[in-house]
Amino acid sequence: MTSYAPPSDWPADERTARAVQDELRARVVLDEPGPAPGQGHVTGVDVAYDDERDVVAAAVVVLDAATLDVVEEATAVGTVAFPYVPGLLAFREIPTVLAALSELTADPGLVVCDGYGIAHPRRFGLASHLGVLTGLPTLGVAKNPFTFSYEPPAAARGSASPLLEGVEEVGKALRTREDVKPVFVSVGHRVSLATACAQTLALTPRYRLPESTRRADALCRSALRRAVGA
């Protein structure tokens, strides 16, 4: 079991958080290919909120990358201790995500976040932030393109087109099901964009969204309901 903990001086205000984000962004590694699909473990990460009670639940689900069978899963529940600020959502989520990761006995392997990596206004979304803090290879698979633009990829599964801010490519719009809305893949840390797309396709044999984060989504919602007594 590896303990993952946020820094002791975790920021509590927007100004400090932006300074931390700038410092950590410089540590993102973009020149490693990352693990190949079908090898080792893949871990899905997702969070759910109860905004009225300021409660956040995080879930991590470790899958065998070859079979997509569940190897291990863990949850953690915490208090939201950072205000809602667009572009800084990771500061609300990561402490509880790290607590859930610390409950695992299995090696997480590649971590897949329900959200963004460098496809972020400040090029440092949840997947990048989590990767830098843990040292794990990470990527983001989002349901929507956020503020970025893209041309619809061809209808066939596996087709992709650039996700753009101006002329800068920050990820891919990737078709995981034929004629179904694409997902939006971006590099987090220690993974190439080509590998991130290949991993996403390996994790979507039946559904639009990766099995890793689909399972984590259901688990964190269940944990939240238990935590607030719903």
* CATH code of the domain covering residue 47: 3.30.2170.10
Question: 195-217, pLDDT tens digit by residue?
Answer: 999 999 999 999 999 999 999 99
The reported pLDDT for the residue numbered 9 is: 86
Token couple for 62: 């470790």
Q: First vs last Cα of the chain: how many Å apart?
A: 31
Distance set, CA 75 to CA 1, 34, 110, 122, 215 (Å): 15, 26, 18, 29, 12
The reported pLDDT for the residue numbered 81 is: 83
Q: Are strands 70-79 and 55-64 parallel, antiparallel or unpaired?
A: antiparallel
The reported pLDDT for the residue numbered 98 is: 97
Domain count for the chain: 1
The reported pLDDT for the residue numbered 133 is: 96
Token couple for 99: 């607590």
Range of the domain at 76: 3-228
114 is in an annotated binding site: yes
Token couple for 224: 């939240």
H helices present in the chain, as ranges = 14-25, 90-101, 126-134, 193-202, 211-228
- Name the residue among 9, 213, 29, 34 with its Cα closest to residue 124: 29
Token couple for 64: 């065998």
User: In the sheet that 41-50 helps form, which strands lie side by side, from edge to edge?
Assistant: 70-79, 55-64, 41-50, 110-113, 138-142, 183-189, 168-174, 160-165
Let me know if 167 is exposed, middle or buried by CB neighbors in 10 A (0-12, 13-18, 19+): exposed
The reported pLDDT for the residue numbered 230 is: 59
Q: What is the 3-state secondary structure (H, E, C) of 94-113?
A: HHHHHHHHCCCCCCCCEEEE
The reported pLDDT for the residue numbered 8 is: 83
Q: From first to last of the 230 residues of the chain, give the pLDDT tens digit.
A: 688 888 888 999 999 999 999 999 999 999 999 999 999 999 999 999 998 899 999 999 999 999 999 999 999 999 998 998 999 999 999 999 999 999 999 999 999 999 999 999 999 999 999 999 999 999 999 999 989 999 999 999 999 999 999 999 999 999 999 999 999 999 999 999 999 999 999 999 999 999 999 999 999 999 999 999 85
Token couple for 88: 């800084």
3-state secondary structure of 130: helix
User: Residues with Cβ < 8 Å from 94, sequence gap 6 or more?
Assistant: 6, 126, 129, 130, 133
